[in-house]
Structure 1
């Protein structure tokens, strides 16, 4: 079984491209923070409500913190950073630039859910509320220090990936091969745009989902701008 299960490595972009992309994100958040700071100063200097002042201050703190954290992640020790993923008969291995294993999610460390009504492998959003299904993540169960079943996030978003969904599909294929006792929620295939038979990424399943997300983002941006330029100007 081990010999017949092929390895799959992460496909990513060139280091130079990734560096430019990451610094672009840092710059974007820094610019957003500056803009929000300007909105905050305007709100403080105008007879606006205290609620508006707190909103802009809160958003400024978030954007500034993200910019600072991303910049720190860019300059910290590269040997401690994940630069590649490998999925083989063991599970998911997170590797540094020298192919040293930094961490792993192994098939035989996975356990069944304590809840008989919950699948052992499932997807859900980190967020909650109206937009809870905006971005789904894969979850499994492992034992905690008390030997109890504990939900664990399978995060592949540690590096920019070209083949994220294929990697998820290959990991699920490994679970089917090495841990057939674990039950996979059928919604997982839908949430990660996988063909249920081959467990390969099916791009056509992504197109309609992306349209909904783009419209949602546009609506959120319009609401923020409307709040800034209409409600504050009336105060």
Structure 2
């Protein structure tokens, strides 16, 4: 069975593209920090401004400067400690550095059944609890903790920019079906990651259909807000 289960590797963007993308995020934060620092200096130098304005500019400068510094640190820190690729094989999903060394892994043999009767062993969940959290889903499995109790674990594929995110998820699910048929997968998982339930391959048409629904939903919400603002509030 191991021999018949081939490997699937992550497809990522070129290092130059990723580097440009990262710098395109860092540079605006640096620019904002410099501008805010200038505002803070001007505010402190002007005796007519109050202390509250000084503190606001200084606080905003600290926030933007800290974010810029953290982003630069993340880009400059030891590349051997950073995940640069993913590999799915008969063992599970492996997170690799640039030298193909395994930094972390989720093995099929370590997966556990859910202790919650209302939660499947493999399921999807909103990426956030915000108003539009349902627009982005993450994959979860269950593993045993140090007390041998089952707990949910995020299968985080967003550690690097991926071209084949949904194909990787589908192949990981195929591995679970192959090596851990005792585990139950929530049927919603296939829909949330736009997979063909039979082949477990990414189906772009499912994504297009889902995006249409979400765009229509957002448009309806915006129209309702506008209608409420201009028609109902004016009557109060």
Under TM normalisation by the shorter chain, which class is it? 0.7 to 0.9
Alignment correspondent of 2:233? none
Alignment correspondent of 1:141? 142
The alpha carbon displacement at 1:26 in A equals 2.1
Q: Distance in 2 between matches of 1:34 and 1:133?
A: 37
Distance verdict in 2 for CA 1:203–1:108, change over 3 Å: same
Distance verdict in 2 for CA 1:210–1:34, change over 3 Å: farther
Alignment correspondent of 2:117? 116
RMSD, matched Cα: 3.5
The alpha carbon displacement at 1:27 in A equals 2.5
Alignment correspondent of 1:168? 169
Distance verdict in 2 for CA 1:38–1:137, change over 3 Å: farther
**Looking at CA atoms only, which structure, 1 or 2, has the larger radius of gyration?**
2
Alignment correspondent of 2:203? 202
The alpha carbon displacement at 1:25 in A equals 2.1
Q: Distance in 2 between matches of 1:84 and 1:193?
A: 22
Matches within 5 A, 1:1-235: 1-30=1-30, 64-210=65-211, 212=214
Unmatched segments (≥5 aa) in structure 1: 224-235
The 3-state SS of whatever aligns with 2:3 is coil
Q: Which range moves more in the overlay, 81-90 or 205-214?
A: 205-214
Distance verdict in 2 for CA 1:214–1:155, change over 3 Å: farther
